[in-house]
Amino acid sequence: MTRTSQTTLRLVMPQWQGGDLPAYRVGAKILEALLPDATGPVETVAIPVESDRSEQDGIKARAALLAQLDAAREAIAKHAPEAIMTVGGDCLVDLAPIAYLAEKYEDDMAVLWVDAHPDVMNKSLFSHAHAHVLAMLLGDGDADFTSVVKRPVDPKKVLYVGVNDMMDVEETYLADRGMSVIGPDALRANPQAVVDWLKASGATKVAVHFDLDVLNPVGRDYLLFNKPDAPEGAFEGVATGKLELEEIVSLLEGVAGELDMVGLAITEFLPWDMINLSRTLAELPMVGSENA
């Protein structure tokens, strides 16, 4: 499907508070630098280098996240785009874009969630709201956030790709709602299964959430799981990705060839070598020192 670039908004959102990790901010800036120049409108949500990180009613940095959510919604409303390409930032950046697209396209849009994790936690389980985002889009979760979801996504219109090693609470959440998962092995056995599923859903449009942590962390400097100063065991029990980047590119090219892709968010980019270099460069005279 083709659409004119003028109706696709690029939303740059260097949000870090949803993962409680300031490095997401510079990661998002680098990701935007890596992408080809946008040919349509671009909005960059201003994200402070520092903000109150404390937990408020179960969610870290609640006030900052809500202010940023409002700013993202305003940026989108200003353009009333047909499609949104979102540059994150932590996974929660996809709340405003998919909420907008779901309200616009209703049952004609499916959601393809390409991730190692299902992102269906809640504040009683984990205070980092980036792990809540898909649940919020289904209408579940903290009311301050779900209030922006005017038309919750139908769980039967969500397809997970790459999710593996779920926790019991996640398994139960998905099973209760009859949600579908194509894991890494199933994808490799039959990559066409994704397009088949999406077409069978009855939707002609699709919004894609591409969390880079769906990728195999071996040899990839730019994933959370390769955080250089993480204490041993910091990610124990957390699923890691099993797929290769070329597999995802090929998958999404195939999806875009068969459905109208109206959303794509790329999230959780943390190129540690560059992040470390940014800290050293910030010590130079004349460049300021505002990166975290």
Q: What gap in Å lies between CA 259 and CA 269, rounded to an integer? A: 26
Region near a second copy per CB under 8 A, out of 28-36, 56-64, 74-82, 174-182: 28-36
Residue 39: CB minimum distance to a second copy, A = 6
3-state SS record for 149-191: CCCCCCHHHEEEECCCCCCHHHHHHHHHCCCEEECHHHHHHCC
15 binds a second copy (CB under 8 A): no
Burial (CB count within 10 angstroms: exposed 0-12, middle 13-18, buried 19+), residue 37: exposed
| From 4, 37, 231, 237, residue interacting with a second copy (rule: CB under 8 A) | 37
Q: Are strands 42-44 and 8-13 parallel, antiparallel or unpaired?
A: parallel
Site string for a second copy, 235-274 (x = CB under 8 A): ----------xx--x--xx-xx----x--x-x----x-xx
Q: What is the DSSP string of 111-157?
A: EEEESSS-----TTT-S-GGGGHHHHHTT-S-HHHHTT-SSPPPGGG
H-helix or E-strand spanning residue 133 = helix 133-137
User: Among candidates 38, 45, 46, 44, which has minimal Cα distance to 8?
Assistant: 38
Closest distance between a second copy and the C-beta of residue 277, in Å? 6
Stretch that binds a second copy, among 33-41, 126-134, 160-168, 196-204 (CB under 8 A): 33-41
User: What tokens does 290 get?
Assistant: 């505002």
- From the list 128-136, 185-193, 197-205, 276-284, the region that binds a second copy by CB under 8 A is 276-284
Which stretch in 71-79, 139-147, 173-181, 283-291 sits in contact with a second copy by CB under 8 A? 283-291
Under a CB-based contact definition with an 8 Å cutoff, are residues 166 and 118 in contact? yes
Q: Which stretch binds a second copy (CB under 8 A): 23-31, 93-101, 180-188, 224-232?
A: 23-31
Contacts (CB under 8 A) with a second copy, residues 81-100: 83, 85
Q: Which residues inside 102-131 make contact with a second copy, applying CB under 8 A? A: none
Query: Quick one: 139 or 257, whose CB is closer to a second copy?
Result: 257
- Could you give the 3-state DSSP secondary structure of residue 109? strand
Nearest distance, CB of residue 253 and a second copy, angstroms: 6
- Minimum separation from the CB atom of position 233 to a second copy (A): 27
- CA 49 to CA 38: how far, in whole Å? 25
Per-residue mark of binding to a second copy, 191-230 (x: CB under 8 A): ------------------------------xx--------
Give the full edge-to-edge strand order of the sheet including 260-267: 42-44, 8-13, 83-88, 260-267, 205-211, 109-114, 158-161, 180-182
Can you give the binding site for a second copy, defined by CB under 8 A?
A: 5, 8, 26, 29-30, 32-39, 49, 83, 85, 221-222, 245-246, 249, 252-253, 255-256, 261, 264, 266, 271, 273-274, 277-278, 280-291
